[in-house]
Each structure stands twice: as structure tokens, then as C-alpha cells.
């Protein structure tokens, strides 16, 4: 049988008729009959030729390879040897082999020389590893400086003449940090292009500027990439466009099923170098790694189909150590991970909660609402399970509203229509007129605290989970001549189409500016807990109220405790807590979950994500506080 490759087509020309089993195998490989030959596009699968040769060798069919075929095989073998060299170098360096560290010390020195910012020791190690691995993953914890590491390696490749474009795919919240870090790490303002939202035609025209006039930094979201993937592919394939492709917050790729995943995986082969960044590489299962390494090394397949099947079987049988052993061998050298303990940050101080006694009317409201909930619980056995779950979640939210700002009880709660105020006319009147009767005791304490910190010029972030509470705090501070800014759900993330409203990024910059006169930032963890860094000038956080969401809580902690500001500065966390209320249970719950999460984060091959302990936390809290059968006692 003659085997030839021409114009990307693999052709098989048999001397005699093939057996039905042999034809079936070719059909499985998606060959099609063309006169006397069987043909298939080989561009999408470099390993296909080797599979064909091995198969027909076992079938005892002699193959005659054309010169094109032989050249192609040499190319595959050369690429395989090159990958093995990359793999071995990455492994020896990551393992801390002294000879390897010495051998590549010139690379480390060169990377530091291209960065105007002095990189930390752990960042230089991560950067050297990324350079050696060429297409690497950085699974370091949040706040370790993954962006600076990537930018330093990109700049080294750019100065070598191997790349000229940094193309970043990630959530919109990462766009501003990339621009800021570009300037801080490389010492020059990035010429950038935002590719998210806005007019579709205007956006797509951005891909067709000449190579000499194109921006250096492109920032796009996962959603935009799905819509624009054809234009992005055309852009990356153009002559003179050499792309360093980055997936930031790469754990989102787990959610990119079907077309989204294909869009990213399809682009990878057009990039000169690839990089994946995430602090949570395996959010749900070990299979979450598949997309990441298919993106990084699709042409070499470090996790083969048979390996993936083996991992899935081990996972099904809960044989996790066997999986960790496989991953350590197959992909261990191809990623780098910095743990929290490696950052050498000065330990943060978590102050014991400040116990506060409720003021008269908020205490009255809390007790009445709590009693109403106990009464409602007595009828729960008459309702179906889903209804009871929904009611319990709603009741917990009502209690959380009470300890934040009683006026919130007048707001509707989505999916919860139980009238906790029904029949209590005095209670309704008090809540309606609450602002005329008193201020929450927490608010009074907060004001006294912020007066002191503001007089000393200290920056403080105040966290609250309720928009109306944020607005209440900001109004009180304004009335007392304390300048503040706020970030919550209504505050837009910067896009090209947003010109008039203040963006989160601009607010952040004003707050961090030591000369701005804005020393208080009031924020909602749901809007400000991820990708926004405040650690350069802000070292104090006050938690006005908390939710059971451990993910948002942990992310909020990292906003002021990060590399590049927290090594030699004291970081303080303060918590305002009402006595004998749901505040105490939330605080205890978060501490337990945070301790469990932090122990997992320090391990290399643990399955975890910041939401893993969430589940039905509000319902579980309800059972814990009120008990399944409390109404019987």
C-alpha cells in the first residue's frame, strides 16, 4: 500500500482490496473513498499517520512511504524529541535540581532584566519555569503575582523577536489588572484593544488593522470569543502577527462546554506560545484538567485518551492516590504552583469580632422576626420539600437583613413570598419609620471607627452584602464629612461603550490614590471580591455584615493581602457582630469552611473550588439555628 501526503491530505492507495474490518477502521478515522484511494485531512491530527502505520503493520500489510511521508515522519519525530526536552528541562527545574537551576540561571537573570519591577523569588522561579515549558500553566494561589510572571516571560519572548502580540482571554474583571500590571511590570503604557460588548461590527473591525498598526495587548472575554472566533482565528493566522495567548481565570474553561471550548481549543494552534492561569485548576473533578492541557499541548497529548479513561475509572472508584501519581508523572512538570505559604507575606491579623449590643428598635424587630420564623416553622411539615427549602432560604435572608439594616425588610426577596410582617401593624410602622427612630448600633460604631482612621489618613474597605446598607453607610459618612466611594452591582465594569458612568476600575484608582482624600471604600463582595487589588495602600478591612458564601469571603480577604504590598505591612481584618444573633453563626460557619479550604489550597492535586462548601448553606444554617423539630419543643 502506498502512503502519501500532499497539501495536507493523507492518501492510502492499496494494492489489493482491503478487508471489511480494515475499511471499518479507516471509516472510524474518518477517511473517505476517492477513486482508488482513501483520503483524510491530516492537519487536524499529526498523530494519525503513525496510527495508520502501526495499524497496517499489525495487519501485515507492507507500506510504501513517499518522500513527503518520510519527511512528515521526521518532522513528527523531531517535534516529539523537542517536547521531551522541554518536559525534562521543566521537570528538573521545578524539582529544584541544583544543576538545572545553575544551568538556567541565565534565563532567570534575563527575565528579571526585561522587567522594570523587581520580581519576588517565587515569581522568578515561576517565570523561569514558564519560559522553559514554553506552553505552561500557573496554578498559584490568588495574590501571588501570576500576571506579572506572565508579562515578564512575554516580554522576554518579545525581545527575542518570537512574539509581538499579547492576547488575553478572561472575565471582564481581569481587563484593568492586566493593563495596570503591564505598566507596572514592563515600565511602559500598553497600547491595548478591549474586545468585549459594544457594537459588533465596530468590534470585529478591530481584528483587521495592519500588523504595523495593531495594538500590542488584546483583552477579550469568553463570551466575546465565542461570537468572534472566526475573526480571531483570521487575525492570529495573519503574516506578521505572532501571538502569546493567555487564558486568565482558566477554571472557567470547565464551564465552556461545546462551542465555547472548541473556540478556544481551535485557536491554540495558531499561537506561538500559550499559557493558562488559575488558582483553582480542578474545581469539580480531575477531568477539569483535560481542557487546560488540550489547550496547552494539543499536538503532544500529555493526557492521552487511554490516560483519561484510566483517571475517570480511578475517580469513580475513589482511588485518588492513583490519580495523583498519574498526574504527577504526566503533567507535573508542565505546571507551576506557588502556595500561600511560599509568598512570605506578613501574617494578617484577624481581630476577634467586636461584640455590639443592638439598639432598642432593631433588637425589637430582630426578636419579633425570629419569633415569627419559629411560628412559621410549625407549619412546614404540611408543605412539600422544595417549598420548605425555598422558605428556609428566604427566612435566613430576612434574619441577615435584620442584623444589617432593618429597613431592608421592606424589600422583596426573590423566590420568597412569606409575609413575615403580616398582622404586625406596629412592627410594620416601626420598620417604615425606622430611620426616624434610631441608627443601627453597628452603624454608630462604624462611624466612630472611620472618624479615627480617616483623621489618620488610613485607607479602609468596608464590606456589606446589601446595596441599601452600602448606600446608608455612604450617606452617613457624607453627612459627617468623610469622603467615600462605593462599588456594588450597579457599578459597571469598564467597556468601550461606557464613557459617562464611574467604573469600578476608576473608583479603585481614586481610592488607592493617597492624595485623593478618599479613604473609605464601601463594597459588596459579590461585585468586588475577584480580580480587584487594593493592597498597595489599603491594609484594613471592616466586615459590617457577612453571608454564608465562603467563596466571596475568601476572595474579599485577598483584596488587601497580596504580593506587592503585604510583605512588610500589617494587614487587619475587623468584624462587627451583634450579640445573640445570626451574626455569630455566620462567623463560626465561615471560619470552619475557610480553614478546610485553606488546607486544600496548599495541596497540588486536590479537587477544590471556592464554591465547593456552599451548597444549600442558607438552608443548612436554618436547620442549625432552628432545628428540624424545634417547633415541637
pLDDT 10s digits, 501-535: 447 888 999 999 999 999 999 999 988 756 688 99
Alpha carbons 576 and 584: distance in angstroms, whole number? 10
The pLDDT assigned to 629 comes to: 47
The pLDDT assigned to 381 comes to: 67
Strand order in the sheet with 9-13: 32-34, 37-41, 9-13, 2-6, 64-65
The pLDDT assigned to 226 comes to: 87
The pLDDT assigned to 613 comes to: 47
The pLDDT assigned to 488 comes to: 87
The β-bridge partners of 486 are 522
CB neighbours of 336 closer than 8 A, spacing ≥ 6?
Answer: 94, 125, 126, 129, 130, 133, 136, 137, 138, 139, 140
Alpha carbons 24 and 38: distance in angstroms, whole number? 12
Query: Is the pLDDT at 541 greater than 60, yes or no?
Result: yes
Query: Is the pLDDT at 111 greater than 80, yes or no?
Result: yes
The pLDDT assigned to 531 comes to: 65
Strands 136-138 and 217-220: unpaired
The pLDDT assigned to 581 comes to: 96
H or E element that contains 549: none
Mean pLDDT of 583-590: 94
What residue ranges in 319-401 does DSSP mark as E strands?
A: 335-336, 349-350, 354-356
515 or 616: which leads in pLDDT: 515
pLDDT, tens digit, for every residue of 336-368? 999 888 898 999 999 999 999 999 999 999 999
**Per mean pLDDT, which range of 15-24, 152-161, 168-177 is the poorest?**
168-177
By the 8 A CB rule, do 404 and 411 touch?
no
Strand order in the sheet with 273-277: 192-195, 217-220, 165-169, 243-247, 273-277, 136-138, 335-336
Strands 32-34 and 37-41: antiparallel
The pLDDT assigned to 112 comes to: 96
CB neighbours of 524 closer than 8 A, spacing ≥ 6?
Answer: 463, 464, 465, 466, 467, 470, 487, 488, 489
**Per mean pLDDT, which range of 173-187, 270-284, 434-448, 575-589 is the poorest?**
270-284
Query: Is the pLDDT at 189 greater than 90, yes or no?
Result: yes
The pLDDT assigned to 499 comes to: 38
By the 8 A CB rule, do 369 and 397 touch?
no
Query: Is the pLDDT at 569 greater than 70, yes or no?
Result: yes
The pLDDT assigned to 258 comes to: 57
Query: Is the pLDDT at 633 greater than 50, yes or no?
Result: no
| Cell 415569627 found at | 372
Alpha carbons 253 and 510: distance in angstroms, whole number? 33
Reduced to 3 states (helix: H, G, I; strand: E, B; else coil), residue 349 is: strand
Query: Is the pLDDT at 198 greater than 90, yes or no?
Result: no
Alpha carbons 187 and 189: distance in angstroms, whole number? 7
Classify residue 581 by its DSSP letter.
S
The 10 Å CB-count burial string (b at 16+, else e) for 474-484 is bebbeeeebeb
Cell numbers at 112, concatenated: 528579571
Nearest in space to 561 (alpha carbons), one of 527, 538, 586, 529:
538
Query: Is the pLDDT at 153 greater than 60, yes or no?
Result: yes
Mean pLDDT of 200-221: 90
pLDDT band at 593 (very low <50, low <70, confident <90, very high): confident
The pLDDT assigned to 497 comes to: 38
By the 8 A CB rule, do 354 and 575 touch?
yes
Alpha carbons 553 and 529: distance in angstroms, whole number? 8
494 or 80: which leads in pLDDT: 80
pLDDT band at 288 (very low <50, low <70, confident <90, very high): confident
Match domain 349-353+439-615 to its CATH number in 3.40.50.300, 3.20.20.150, 3.30.530.20, 3.30.540.10. 3.40.50.300
The pLDDT assigned to 86 comes to: 96
Q: What percent of the chain has pLDDT over 70?
A: 91
The pLDDT assigned to 257 comes to: 58
Query: Is the pLDDT at 632 greater than 80, yes or no?
Result: no
pLDDT, tens digit, for every residue of 6-41? 888 999 999 999 999 999 999 999 999 999 999 998
Cell numbers at 337, concatenated: 504552583
The pLDDT assigned to 565 comes to: 83
pLDDT band at 595 (very low <50, low <70, confident <90, very high): confident
Alpha carbons 231 and 227: distance in angstroms, whole number? 9
Cell numbers at 321, concatenated: 492516590
**Per mean pLDDT, which range of 48-57, 146-155, 515-524 is the poorest?**
48-57
Q: Average pLDDT of the chain?
A: 88
Mean pLDDT of 221-243: 91
The pLDDT assigned to 202 comes to: 84
**Per mean pLDDT, which range of 104-118, 185-199, 256-270, 303-317 is the poorest?**
256-270
Mean pLDDT of 423-438: 88
Count of other CB atoms within 10 angstroms of residue 92: 18
pLDDT, tens digit, for every residue of 363-417? 999 999 999 888 887 777 667 778 888 888 899 999 999 999 999 999 888 878 7
Nearest in space to 342 (alpha carbons), one of 124, 100, 592, 89:
124
493 or 77: which leads in pLDDT: 77
Mean pLDDT of 206-226: 90
The pLDDT assigned to 630 comes to: 44
Query: Is the pLDDT at 256 greater than 60, yes or no?
Result: no
The β-bridge partners of 612 are none
| Cell 473517505 found at | 32
Alpha carbons 611 and 608: distance in angstroms, whole number? 8
Mean pLDDT of 553-576: 92
Classify residue 145 by its DSSP letter.
-
Match domain 104-343 to its CATH number in 3.40.50.10810, 1.20.1530.20, 1.10.10.10, 3.40.50.150. 3.40.50.10810
Alpha carbons 406 and 369: distance in angstroms, whole number? 10
Cell numbers at 368, concatenated: 419579633
Amino acid at each position: 500500500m502506498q502512503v502519501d501526503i500532499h497539501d495536507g491530505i493523507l492518501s492510502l492507495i492499496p494494492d489489493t482490496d482491503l478487508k471489511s474490518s480494515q475499511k471499518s477502521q479507516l471509516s472510524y478515522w474518518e477517511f473517505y473513498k476517492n477513486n482508488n484511494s482513501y483520503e483524510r485531512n491530516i492537519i487536524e491530527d499529526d498523530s494519525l499517520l503513525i496510527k495508520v502505520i502501526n495499524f497496517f503493520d499489525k495487519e501485515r500489510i507492507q507500506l510504501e512511504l513517499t518522500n513527503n511521508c518520510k519527511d512528515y515522519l521526521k518532522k513528527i519525530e523531531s517535534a516529539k524529541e523537542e517536547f521531551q526536552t522541554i518536559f525534562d528541562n521543566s521537570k528538573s527545574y521545578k524539582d529544584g535540581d541544583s544543576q538545572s537551576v545553575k544551568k538556567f540561571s541565565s534565563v532567570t537573570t534575563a527575565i528579571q532584566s526585561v522587567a522594570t519591577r523587581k520580581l519576588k523569588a517565587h515569581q522568578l522561579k515561576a517565570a523561569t519555569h514558564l519560559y522553559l515549558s514554553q506552553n505552561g500553566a500557573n496554578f498559584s494561589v490568588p495574590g501571588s503575582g501570576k500576571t506579572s510572571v506572565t508579562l515578564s516571560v512575554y516580554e522576554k519572548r518579545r525581545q527575542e523577536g518570537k512574539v509581538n502580540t499579547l492576547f488575553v482571554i478572561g472575565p471582564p474583571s481581569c481587563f484593568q489588572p492586566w493593563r495596570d500590571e503591564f505598566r507596572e511590570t514592563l515600565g511602559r503604557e500598553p497600547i491595548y484593544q478591549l474586545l468585549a460588548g459594544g457594537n459588533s461590527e465596530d468590534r470585529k473591525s478591530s481584528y483587521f488593522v495592519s500588523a504595523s498598526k495593531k495594538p500590542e495587548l488584546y483583552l477579550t472575554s469568553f463570551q466575546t470569543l465565542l461570537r468572534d472566533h472566526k475573526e480571531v482565528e483570521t487575525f492570529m493566522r495573519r503574516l506578521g502577527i505572532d501571538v502569546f495567548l493567555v487564558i486568565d481565570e482558566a477554571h472557567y474553561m470547565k464551564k465552556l462546554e461545546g462551542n465555547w471550548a472548541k473556540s478556544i481549543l481551535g485557536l491554540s494552534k495558531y499561537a506561538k506560545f500559550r499559557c493558562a492561569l488559575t488558582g483553582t485548576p480542578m474545581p469539580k473533578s480531575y477531568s477539569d484538567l483535560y481542557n487546560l492541557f488540550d489547550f496547552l499541548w494539543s499536538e503532544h497529548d500529555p493526557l492521552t485518551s487511554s490516560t483519561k479513561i484510566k483517571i475517570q475509572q480511578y475517580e469513580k472508584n475513589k482511588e485518588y492516590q492513583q490519580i495523583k501519581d498519574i498526574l504527577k508523572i504526566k503533567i507535573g512538570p508542565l505546571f507551576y504552583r506557588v502556595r500561600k505559604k511560599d509568598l512570605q507575606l506578613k501574617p494578617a491579623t484577624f481581630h476577634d469580632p467586636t461584640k455590639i449590643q443592638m439598639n432598642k428598635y432593631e433588637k425589637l424587630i430582630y426578636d419579633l422576626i425570629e419569633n415569627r420564623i419559629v411560628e412559621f416553622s410549625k407549619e412546614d411539615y404540611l408543605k412539600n420539600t422544595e417549598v420548605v427549602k425555598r422558605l428556609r432560604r428566604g427566612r435566613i435572608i430576612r434574619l441577615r437583613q435584620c442584623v444589617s439594616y432593618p429597613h431592608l425588610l421592606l424589600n422583596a426577596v426573590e423566590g420568597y413570598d412569606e409575609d413575615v410582617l403580616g398582622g404586625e401593624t406596629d412592627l410594620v410602622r416601626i420598620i417604615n419609620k425606622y430611620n426616624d427612630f434610631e441608627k443601627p448600633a453597628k452603624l454608630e460604631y462604624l462611624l466612630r471607627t472611620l472618624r479615627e482612621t480617616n483623621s489618620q489618613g488610613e485607607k479602609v474597605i468596608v464590606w456589606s452584602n446589601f446595596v441599601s446598607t452600602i448606600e446608608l453607610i455612604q450617606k452617613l459618612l457624607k453627612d459627617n464629612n468623610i469622603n467615600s466611594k462605593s462599588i456594588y452591582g450597579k457599578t459597571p465594569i469598564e467597556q468601550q461603550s461606557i464613557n459617562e458612568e464611574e467604573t469600578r476600575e476608576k473608583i479603585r484608582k481614586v481610592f488607592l490614590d493617597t492624595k485623593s482624600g478618599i479613604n473609605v471604600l464601601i463594597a459588596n463582595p459579590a461585585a468586588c471580591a475577584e480580580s480587584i487589588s487594593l493592597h498597595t495602600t489599603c491594609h484594613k478591612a471592616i466586615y459590617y455584615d457577612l453571608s454564608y458564601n465562603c467563596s466571596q469571603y475568601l476572595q474579599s480577604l485577598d483584596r488587601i493581602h497580596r504580593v506587592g504590598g503585604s510583605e512588610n505591612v500589617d494587614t487587619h481584618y475587623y468584624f462587627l457582630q451583634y450579640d445573640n444573633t445570626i451574626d455569630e453563626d455566620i462567623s463560626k460557619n465561615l471560619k470552619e469552611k475557610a480553614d478546610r479550604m485553606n488546607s486544600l489550597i496548599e495541596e497540588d492535586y486536590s479537587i477544590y473550588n471556592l464554591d465547593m462548601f456552599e451548597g444549600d448553606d442558607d438552608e443548612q444554617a436554618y436547620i442549625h439555628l432552628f432545628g428540624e423539630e424545634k417547633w415541637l419543643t
